[in-house]
Structure 1
Amino acid sequence: MKFSEQWLREWVSPALSTQALADQITMAGLEVDAIEPVAGTFSQVVVAEVIEKRPHPDADKLSVCRVDDGSGGSLQVVCGAPNVAEGQKVAFARVGAVLPDEMQIRETRVRGTDSQGMICSSSELGLSEETSQGILELASDAPVGSDFRDWMGLEDVSIEVDLTPNRGDCLSIRGLAREVGVLNQLDITGPSIDAVSPAHEDTFDVRVMDPVRCPRYVGRIIKNVDVSVSSPLWMVERLRRSGLRSIDPVVDITNYVMLELGQPMHAFDRANLTQAIEVRGAKSGETLVLLDGQRVSLSEETLIIADANGPLAIAGVMGGDKSGVNTGTRDIFLESAFFTPLAVAGQARQYGLHTDASHRFERGVDPHLSRTAVERATELLLSITGGEAGPVVEAGDDRHMPSSEPITLHTSRLEQALDTSLANSEVTDILERLGLSVTSRSDGWSVMAPSWRFDIAIEEDLVEEVARIHGYNRLPVRRPAARLALRADQEHRLTLSRLRRQMVDRGYQEAISYSFVSPELQRMLFPDAVSPALANPISNDMSVMRVSLFPGLIKALEYNLNRQQTRIRLFETGLVFQGELDALTQVPMLGAVVSGRRDPEGWAATSQAVDFFDLKGDLENLLALGDSEAWRFEPAEHPALHPGQSARLVHEGTPVGWIGTLHPGKRAELGLKTDAILFEVSLSALTKGRVPSFHPLSRYPEVRRDLALLVDEALPVQALLDCLRDAAGEWLSELRLFDVYHGQGVADGEKSVALGLTWQHPSRTLNDDEINQLVDTIIAQTGERFGARLRR
């Protein structure tokens, strides 16, 4: 919410400086993000009147004007603006004036004609970011000779407040004034809004077919408006200082009322409406061209405004192109409605929109404000565009209007939360100044929230209101008591920080991605996955909960590749979500992705690309922090991974993760030009460590035997290693795979696996007979189980 300080001070003006006012509302929970001047710095610019205009003798597009600047005479000025005219009041920069771009005005000759100053446009005075083709026209009652800055009130600032979603009541000058008034114990004085008497009896029928989502709809016909007139400068300025640009008087007035009172409004061209206004859900196949030119296909859950010919607007979001006001409009239908927050929530994002109206309706608009806003807008329209107002038409169902329930605030709960005791009179005063209805009780207060405070529903909300108005900085400061006893170290568990440090030590960088992913990407990688879809997603491409870390890591990889990063090593930890909402499982996982060169670029480094075994080595290094003997890699196929280059991770017999190269088809579909190798593993298994235990070192020599076994090419080496450990006896101290060979001397369909076995006895020297017997047992068992034989 951006607002003009001067505008706010017309409602309530505490004896505070600008910075003090910003600090005060920040401490009350309305954080001020920025304070900016409303205009650039300039001097010696005054209000002047054009008393004569004639063509320039030597230039078709220039005019020679005589200007009265209030100094007692007239000045000759050459002007190139097409809209300059006799009798206009203008902003005139005298000779010696300095404009915002530090341009100094001097007396000069333009095409042989003297020019003694400059008639200014809004962009030349820093009042508009867009370059203007015409001069700034002032009101006819602007006093000639007066200082332009003073007359325009440009010694003002725009204050931008970052409101939390629960404070929709402060998305208006009226709401902010209420807050400032409460904080400073001042009354607010807004404009007097009286009912406008009808000048004709014409009405337009309104039918609310969905009163649950639209309990109130108010409308009025205003005839013979003149849309060609310009909005008054004071209104244009207030809109500009609030971050909105002027469009036409009808749109400007509806925007002005929205900023002033907090009620979004819309005006339809009466000539484009047929039979009756209908507030209903969209029908299958209906489309709408919005005011921004975008054509949208309406879903059946969308609440719309329609007539007999079809949709006119998305309720609470944006109007349609055909029904909007244009230069030929003579009669308008002015609407103001209350749409429940749940009716509008998510509708704008569903169509890729975010409007000022949806921003307010999603957070809650005062349900009793609709008629007041219509009367205020009517009053402004009649004074600016002329016309005749008809009677107000109101439709809906009061049974579906929001209602407040009594909330009990207990004195004991308030004292416990604030750690201090406040006088009952102070608490009552705070609550009443906030607009709440208060009844004293023996144990506290019974409170009813006003219609504009959607965020007050439970006792804790009342505690917060008392605390912030009383002042957080006035509450006592106490250091919390803490037990300083040492906690037992869980040696059997690895910490997440240890795992992170290990990944960083291996050259990885940590990525943090959203828990929400694109449904198309998730479906491509995990066709059978089931996870909850979000009812109100951030965007359409982040609308389902992730079932794996792979989608986020792949998007992070893609982002880096698109920015010319050629060596990428990323890891991430986070939850994945599996199952429907009523049976949801949340699993903490650790995942990683690598791509590009194996080694960083350097004179001694190779240019080989990273492969499956590089990532497998990094993962094994991570597993070695715990009990590496409890882990197995089993060949298996995964829909997202390359067949033959993927494996299932098994911990103590339970599948807990995957590792592999991204499937070539998926890679092509994603547009990746390089291989991506990924893994993810359950954190609960990964953090399961092994408590160290002491084993005395043997004083006796080791005995080593190397065996080369011929086995079937498809046999996993892990199965062979498990068999060797079982057959090698209890004194085996090391088993090492040091070669796998295919080629001359090895039959097709077979491979030679070379293994080094080391034995060591803790209390004596092993002899050759014992070792030979163990080797014979190994050869016999591997031959029986796998058909292995010694390579000669």
Structure 2
Amino acid sequence: MKFSENWLRQHVPTTASRDELVATLTAIGLEVEEVTALGGALDNVVVARIVGAQKHPEADRLQVCTVDAGNGETLQIVCGAPNARVGLKAPLAKVGAVLPGGMAITPAKLRGVESFGMLCSARELGTDADASGLLELPGDAVVGQPMAALLGLPDASIEIKLTPNRADCFGVRGIAYDVAAASGSEVAPMDIEPVDPASDASLPVELHAGADAPRYCGRVIEGVDAAAPTPWRIAERLRRSGVRPVSLLVDVTQYVMLELGQPMHAFDRDTLSGPVGVRRARDGEMLKLLDGREAKLDDGFLLVTDADRPVALAGVMGGFDTRVTDASRNVFLEAAHFAPAAIIGRSRKLGLHTDAAHRFERGVDPALPRLALEYATRLILDAAGGTPGEVVEATLPEHLPRPSPILLRRERLKRVLGLAVADGEVERILRALGLAVEADPAGWQVTAPSRRFDLAIEEDLIEEVARIHGYDTVPTTLPGGASRLVAPSEARVEGGVVRRHLAARGCLEALNYAFVDAALLQAWGATDGSVALANPLSAELGVMRTMLLPGLVAALGRNTARQQSRVRLFEIGNVFTAQTGEAPLHTLRVAAAVCGTADPEQWGSASRPVGFHDLKGDLESLAAVSGARLEFRPSRPAWAHPGRSADVFRIDGETETRLGWIGQLHPRLAGELEIDVDVVAFELDLDPLLARPLPKAAARSRFPSVRRDLAFVVPQDVAWDALAGTVRAAAGPVLRDLVLFDVYQGKGVESGCKSLAMGLILQEETRTLTDHDVDAVVAAVTTRLQQAHAATIRG
């Protein structure tokens, strides 16, 4: 929300300096993001009128102007502005003036012609960025009047950052209540007298959207001069609030919205036949909006209609065909109350962002429409004339919000804040904020005004007292009472251990949004079970993620695009899967994605690219933290490189649990993501990986172990995991460990085969193994491998 400092001071008289005012706003929760000083005192800068203009004898683009500076003073000014002309009133900086940019005005000669001052643009006065010509002043400006008085300078443009619950501060008057409460002053009265109708002109209004649109007010004004200039005061305040003046009718609706917080719209009455209504849109219905785009609607949108014809997107934007122009003579003004739930997310769905939608999404005072309509009518009549009709109002009282009294207990207030606030101060604060306060034996019965949607429970009132009384007055005390210490479970590894372990392996933790672009999930082939958001922050964040890797690999891609050749990232977070009739299922996962070289740059060994087995080693190291035994089985998901991908299983005795996937990204997918390096990644369900069996003490065997090394030739497509499973089953409990120590292909091994050399470590608990025992185990293993995998002993 951006506004003029002087505009705010009009609503809340205060002697606070600008710095004090800014500090007060931030202290009460209306964080000031930017303050732009405008103008200044502008000493020796006055309103002047050009009474004569001749071409400069030595320069085609310069004019020699004779300027009336007031009080009978006439000055010669050399000016190069394209809009300088006889009769124009413009700012004149006289000799001795110092402009906001530091320029000091002195007598000068321009191409041999003397000049005694300077006619100024808005940028030279520091009020706007426009330097295209002289600042054209209104015709009723008094010649000789100080410009500071005319422009209301010095002033400042203040921009505050509002939290979503403070919708009441989207108008200058709403901000004034907070400032008045904090500064001990009162909000100045704003008496808006109803405008008496002077004609019978009207349009009937109908409501067909129930609670979505419980109030709609409209008024016809005939004979308006829509081409009349916007009053100077209104135009300047709009500029200082970051709004560019457009035309009188549009500017008045913008002005009322910025001052009161009520969005409005003006229709060309001659384009309407009536009745005007509000209803839900129908699927596939089309509406051409003010900006010229065609909007395809569904039944989630609200429409303003004319005899059932769509003419505006309610709470968002008006329609193109019924817009007002400078040629409009008869106007239909509207001001309505739309429920936040009916507007929220609708503008973003169409790729729009409008001031009206921004306010209606957060809640607008339902009591404002008629007041805003009367105010806008008076401003239009004063500036453009016209004959007003009566205000037509349609209301569904049963659907309008009704504030209920809230009990604020004295003891509860003291307990939460940790200090006692005097009763008189509590009452002053609440009343200054516009709340109705009645004494109660326990404290106060407080009723919030209709503009304060955020005040619903006792804690809301406590927050109001705290922020106005001052957070700095709340004492800093440590909480008392006994704390219950809970020992971590031995049956589970803590998530922090996982983070530290992966960091120790050289990975950096990434934090990505839980929302992703639906197109990104489509590229990964991971749209099954995706949950679309009803009110996404943007089109790129419209779906809840079903995997961690799309966001993590996108982060890796952004790093490689910025000259980071070696990237190692991991993330721990939830993924979400839709469930019929229930809330989405949350699953905690861990994922990692790496690219570049296997080791950091160093001199001790040759550099090589990171591969599948490097990340597999990291994963097995992580599994060892919980004692999990993993198996890797070939797989071919859509995003994986064929032949370099595996599903990961945890094996617990006879039980196996699929944890996730590990492998290399498919080159096609990497190309779509504009990543030109090989990416190796894994993603696993974290909870089953972290489960840890309770440790059991057992004596180590007193008898020596025996190792037998065997080499088998097997077909190329036989996986080590399959062989290892067969060896363990054949050897039985006497096998304590199995080690693969060599893989060979080449001379001595026939084509299409490979040699795998393994070490069997055998040991008994109760006796020393004999040669006969060991030979029996070796024979059993050899036989089983021959039968299951066509393996032969390598000669």
| TM-score (norm. length: structure 1) | 0.91
CA contact (8 A) 1:203 1:390 kept: yes
**Mapping 1:129-278, distance limit 5 Å:** 129-130=129-130, 132-278=131-277
Amino acid corresponding to residue 2 of structure 1 in structure 2: K
**Is 1:504 aligned with 2:503?**
yes
Secondary structure (helix, strand or coil) at the match of 2:211 reads coil
Tell me the CA shift for residue 707 of structure 1. Answer: 1.0
Tell me the CA shift for residue 679 of structure 1. Answer: 1.0
Match of 1:661 among 661, 664, 683: 664
Superimposed CA distance per residue, residues 709-728 of structure 1 (whole angstroms, 9 cap, x where no aligned partner): 12343333123223334545
Tell me the CA shift for residue 120 of structure 1. Answer: 0.7
Question: Matches of 2:391 and 2:322 in 1, distance apart?
Answer: 20
Equivalent residue, structure 1, for 2:637: 638
Equivalent residue, structure 1, for 2:389: 390
Residues 350 and 593 of structure 1, relative CA distance in 2, 3 Å threshold: same
Tell me the CA shift for residue 140 of structure 1. Answer: 4.1
Equivalent residue, structure 2, for 1:752: 755
**Mapping 1:45-194, distance limit 5 Å:** 45-70=45-70, 73-130=73-130, 132-194=131-193
CA contact (8 A) 1:533 1:543 kept: yes
Question: Matches of 2:529 and 2:225 in 1, distance apart?
Answer: 58
Equivalent residue, structure 2, for 1:360: 359
Residues 438 and 134 of structure 1, relative CA distance in 2, 3 Å threshold: same
Match of 1:720 among 696, 719, 723: 723
Question: Matches of 2:781 and 2:42 in 1, distance apart?
Answer: 95
Tell me the CA shift for residue 42 of structure 1. Answer: 6.6
Equivalent residue, structure 2, for 1:318: 317
Tell me the CA shift for residue 107 of structure 1. Answer: 3.4
Equivalent residue, structure 1, for 2:684: 681
Equivalent residue, structure 1, for 2:794: 791
Secondary structure (helix, strand or coil) at the match of 1:124 reads helix
Question: Matches of 1:40 and 1:426 in 2, distance apart?
Answer: 37
Superimposed CA distance per residue, residues 309-346 of structure 1 (whole angstroms, 9 cap, x where no aligned partner): 84322111122333222232222221111111111111
CA contact (8 A) 1:11 1:189 kept: yes
Tell me the CA shift for residue 178 of structure 1. Answer: 1.5
Amino acid corresponding to residue 230 of structure 2 in structure 1: S
For structure 1, the 5+ residue unaligned runs are none
Tell me the CA shift for residue 644 of structure 1. Answer: 2.8
Superimposed CA distance per residue, residues 16-56 of structure 1 (whole angstroms, 9 cap, x where no aligned partner): 33333333333322222233312379764333232323344
Secondary structure (helix, strand or coil) at the match of 2:511 reads coil
- Greater CA deviation, 299-308 or 421-430? 421-430
Question: Matches of 2:782 and 2:288 in 1, distance apart?
Answer: 79
Residues 696 and 99 of structure 1, relative CA distance in 2, 3 Å threshold: farther
Question: Matches of 1:432 and 1:100 in 2, distance apart?
Answer: 41
Residues 14 and 74 of structure 1, relative CA distance in 2, 3 Å threshold: closer
Question: Matches of 1:488 and 1:395 in 2, distance apart?
Answer: 63
**Is 1:710 aligned with 2:710?**
no
Tell me the CA shift for residue 355 of structure 1. Answer: 1.5
Secondary structure (helix, strand or coil) at the match of 2:51 reads strand
Amino acid corresponding to residue 515 of structure 2 in structure 1: F
Question: Matches of 1:223 and 1:654 in 2, distance apart?
Answer: 77
Amino acid corresponding to residue 34 of structure 2 in structure 1: A
Equivalent residue, structure 2, for 1:28: 28
Secondary structure (helix, strand or coil) at the match of 1:624 reads helix
Question: Matches of 1:504 and 1:678 in 2, distance apart?
Answer: 16
Equivalent residue, structure 1, for 2:373: 374
Amino acid corresponding to residue 617 of structure 1 in structure 2: G
- Greater CA deviation, 320-329 or 370-379? 320-329
Amino acid corresponding to residue 635 of structure 2 in structure 1: A
Amino acid corresponding to residue 312 of structure 1 in structure 2: V
CA RMSD of aligned residues (A): 3.1
Question: Matches of 2:464 and 2:98 in 1, distance apart?
Answer: 49
Superimposed CA distance per residue, residues 140-195 of structure 1 (whole angstroms, 9 cap, x where no aligned partner): 45454454335433222222221111111111111111122233443321443111
Amino acid corresponding to residue 524 of structure 2 in structure 1: L
Equivalent residue, structure 2, for 1:532: 531
Tell me the CA shift for residue 484 of structure 1. Answer: 7.4
Residues 44 and 424 of structure 1, relative CA distance in 2, 3 Å threshold: closer
Superimposed CA distance per residue, residues 253-276 of structure 1 (whole angstroms, 9 cap, x where no aligned partner): 111111111111111222333444
Secondary structure (helix, strand or coil) at the match of 2:721 reads helix
Secondary structure (helix, strand or coil) at the match of 1:123 reads helix
CA contact (8 A) 2:41 2:154 kept: no
Secondary structure (helix, strand or coil) at the match of 1:402 reads coil
Amino acid corresponding to residue 774 of structure 1 in structure 2: V
Amino acid corresponding to residue 85 of structure 2 in structure 1: A
Tell me the CA shift for residue 583 of structure 1. Answer: 4.6
Question: Matches of 2:286 and 2:87 in 1, distance apart?
Answer: 49
Amino acid corresponding to residue 32 of structure 1 in structure 2: V
CA contact (8 A) 2:649 2:657 kept: yes
- Greater CA deviation, 417-426 or 773-782? 417-426
Tell me the CA shift for residue 512 of structure 1. Answer: 0.9
Residues 675 and 296 of structure 1, relative CA distance in 2, 3 Å threshold: farther
Secondary structure (helix, strand or coil) at the match of 1:631 reads strand
| TM-score (norm. length: structure 2) | 0.91
Superimposed CA distance per residue, residues 199-238 of structure 1 (whole angstroms, 9 cap, x where no aligned partner): 3222223332223211111111222322333323222221
Question: Matches of 2:588 and 2:437 in 1, distance apart?
Answer: 48
Amino acid corresponding to residue 335 of structure 2 in structure 1: S
Question: Matches of 2:125 and 2:605 in 1, distance apart?
Answer: 61
Superimposed CA distance per residue, residues 672-715 of structure 1 (whole angstroms, 9 cap, x where no aligned partner): 43333221112223333467788888898765432111234333
Question: Matches of 1:303 and 1:254 in 2, distance apart?
Answer: 20
Tell me the CA shift for residue 747 of structure 1. Answer: 4.3
Question: Matches of 1:605 and 1:65 in 2, distance apart?
Answer: 82
Superimposed CA distance per residue, residues 576-622 of structure 1 (whole angstroms, 9 cap, x where no aligned partner): 11232615321111101123444445666756443322322222222
Residues 658 and 39 of structure 1, relative CA distance in 2, 3 Å threshold: farther
- Greater CA deviation, 763-772 or 552-561? 763-772
Equivalent residue, structure 2, for 1:401: 400
- Greater CA deviation, 457-466 or 682-691? 682-691
Tell me the CA shift for residue 118 of structure 1. Answer: 1.6
Residues 426 and 239 of structure 1, relative CA distance in 2, 3 Å threshold: same
Question: Matches of 2:52 and 2:605 in 1, distance apart?
Answer: 81
For structure 2, the 5+ residue unaligned runs are none
Residues 319 and 604 of structure 1, relative CA distance in 2, 3 Å threshold: farther
Tell me the CA shift for residue 468 of structure 1. Answer: 2.9
Equivalent residue, structure 2, for 1:332: 331
Question: Matches of 1:447 and 1:105 in 2, distance apart?
Answer: 59
Question: Matches of 2:36 and 2:497 in 1, distance apart?
Answer: 47
Tell me the CA shift for residue 123 of structure 1. Answer: 1.9
Secondary structure (helix, strand or coil) at the match of 1:553 reads helix
Question: Matches of 1:668 and 1:195 in 2, distance apart?
Answer: 66
Question: Matches of 1:787 and 1:754 in 2, distance apart?
Answer: 16
CA contact (8 A) 1:571 1:590 kept: yes
Question: Matches of 1:602 and 1:325 in 2, distance apart?
Answer: 71
Superimposed CA distance per residue, residues 63-96 of structure 1 (whole angstroms, 9 cap, x where no aligned partner): 3211133476321112233333334332112345
Match of 1:775 among 766, 775, 778: 778
Superimposed CA distance per residue, residues 620-674 of structure 1 (whole angstroms, 9 cap, x where no aligned partner): 222222314x222222332332343222221231112111222344344444433
Secondary structure (helix, strand or coil) at the match of 1:135 reads coil
Secondary structure (helix, strand or coil) at the match of 1:774 reads helix
Question: Matches of 1:42 and 1:181 in 2, distance apart?
Answer: 29
CA contact (8 A) 1:597 1:609 kept: yes
Question: Matches of 1:304 and 1:50 in 2, distance apart?
Answer: 51
Residues 407 and 482 of structure 1, relative CA distance in 2, 3 Å threshold: closer
Superimposed CA distance per residue, residues 287-323 of structure 1 (whole angstroms, 9 cap, x where no aligned partner): 3333333332222311122335843221111223332
- What is the aligned length? 790
Residues 221 and 162 of structure 1, relative CA distance in 2, 3 Å threshold: same
